[in-house]
Amino acid sequence: MKRMPTLASWVAGAAMALSISASHAGTASEAIAQAEADLAAAQQASAVWRLLDPATGGAAVPLGKLLKTAKAKLEANEESEAIRIAEKISWAAQAGIAQSEAQKSAAPVYF
């Protein structure tokens, strides 16, 4: 198995550190704001994932739709659910960016 290039491993580590900091958001509105910022960065990197979540009926949906669900949960005074969804969005956005960075120079390998 090949080792990850230094840049890719640094990006993956940074993404993990950011996801840990995002998981300690104080309020639902802060978590949603962080998720919006992370989603914008993922869109900039063309690295937006789709996620399965029970809040959207268990179907795979884009992160933008999941963000709308989190905002709806916040308006319905379901703060813990809004935080859970926002943290999931932040994690997925950061993981998508890390994956995009790690695979920028991907090419087929012939044996």
Q: For 68-89, what is each residue's pLDDT tens digit?
A: 999 999 999 999 999 999 999 9
pLDDT at 58: 81
The neighbouring-strand residues paired with 52 are: 60
Q: How far apart are CA 18 and CA 86, in angstroms?
A: 13
Per the CB < 8 A criterion, the answer to whether 29 and 84 are in contact is no
Backbone angles phi, psi at 88, to 5 degrees: -65, -40
Residue ranges per domain, the chain? 6-102
> Which two structure tokens, joined as six digits, stand for 72?
């709806």
Highest mean pLDDT among 12-26, 33-47, 95-109: 33-47
The pLDDT tens digits of the residues spanning 9-23 come to 555 555 554 554 444
Tokens 């958001």 found at:
25
Q: Is the pTM of this model over 0.75?
A: no
